[in-house]
Structure 1
């Protein structure tokens, strides 16, 4: 080196300012997704909207998919906790309602829209994580993977053929079709 030294950073920072930066970037990412969609999302646009340098973003989230993962993480954390209603049917219905509510939130809509826009290649790893975490409470409730996947898809895809997300009675009707009540159960 000719008299200059390489700039050294301290890596990922923690603390109140770092927490604020993370929240600003998450909010900016969500706003940019709403404005431009996943295809139009850029690290530069998020950095500008969040009031941070691009390197601040690249240090934590090197890809657009990583930014989207940060946005949806609070939704995914909900799947780490079981409803514990006292019955398998009650648990499955509660999980379906949680999925519905998550899919209707801005973060959930952003993920669904990114997938619908053809971002599955770039989002493959994130989709695998989302699917795994959303299926986990079904598995812990003791239902088959088939019922879990049909319940998940039925709730998430409902608005494709209806005027909005499924209501409570719609979710209950799907559950009745998937797990008919019999005299012994």
Structure 2
């Protein structure tokens, strides 16, 4: 028997690793839905995922890092811009995407985490990515001469209005309201 400490191989790659990531991601979503970000416990995530605490902490040393991984697939949807051929059509398509993402478990987790100090970096990055998509499509419309507007402000109002509507109104944001948003934001 040796006195040397056991050496691990660090973060693994491959099929088992992919399975672990997806298991932990699903478990984190379950726990976020159950207890929220503030009360999220990495031990509970590990237990729900059927992996060890070490496995979780090796990849995600903090709850914030785990939240970032959980929401990334939803945020990737903002990397491709709607292109319907019109500013209004693009804006409505983008708002529909934001509405859909906000209703997903990942989106709900991000919205719920917004008030927590530890999650601010992830929430800010998610907001920035969402607004960037809106700014790109609005800038494209300005460049085509289709609209003249304060791109940054319209993008921010569009994103916040779409995300916050169900929180404030306690009703889903329907297609007619998306059309109305577009008419107000792009007169």
The Cα shift of 1:70 comes to 1.2
Does residue 124 of the first structure (1) align with residue 120 of the second (2)? Answer: yes
- Residue in 1 that maps onto 2:156: 149
Matched, 1:135 2:131: yes
Retained in 2: the 8 A contact 1:104–1:165? no
Match of 2:44 in 1: 45
Deviation at 1:165, TM superposition (A): 2.5
Which ranges of structure 1 fall in alignment gaps of 5 or more residues?
A: 181-185
Alignment partner for residue 170 of structure 2, among 156, 163, 168?
163
Using the size of structure 2 for normalisation, the TM-score is: 0.89
Q: Post-superposition, which runs of at least 4 consecutive aligned residues in structure 1 deviate over 4 A?
A: none
Structure 2 unmatched ranges of 5 or more = 140-150
Q: CA deviation at 1:164?
A: 2.5
Note if contact 1:155-1:165 (Cα within 8 Å) is conserved in structure 2. no
Name the counterpart of 1:183: none
Between the aligned partners of 1:11 and 1:141, the Cα distance in structure 2 is 42
Matched pairs, number? 176
TM-score of the aligned structures, taking structure 1 as reference length? 0.90
Whether the aligned pair in 2 keeps the contact of 1:29 and 1:46 (CA below 8 Å) is yes
Q: CA RMSD in A?
A: 1.4
Which position in structure 2 is the counterpart of 1:28?
27
Aligned equivalent of 1:63 = 62
Give 1:142 deviation, angstroms: 2.9
Q: Mean alpha-carbon deviation: is it higher for 68-77 or for 6-15?
A: 6-15
Q: Deviations 1:33-74 (Å, cap 9, x if unpaired)?
A: 111111211000000100111111111111111111111111
Q: Secondary structure of 2:4's partner?
A: coil
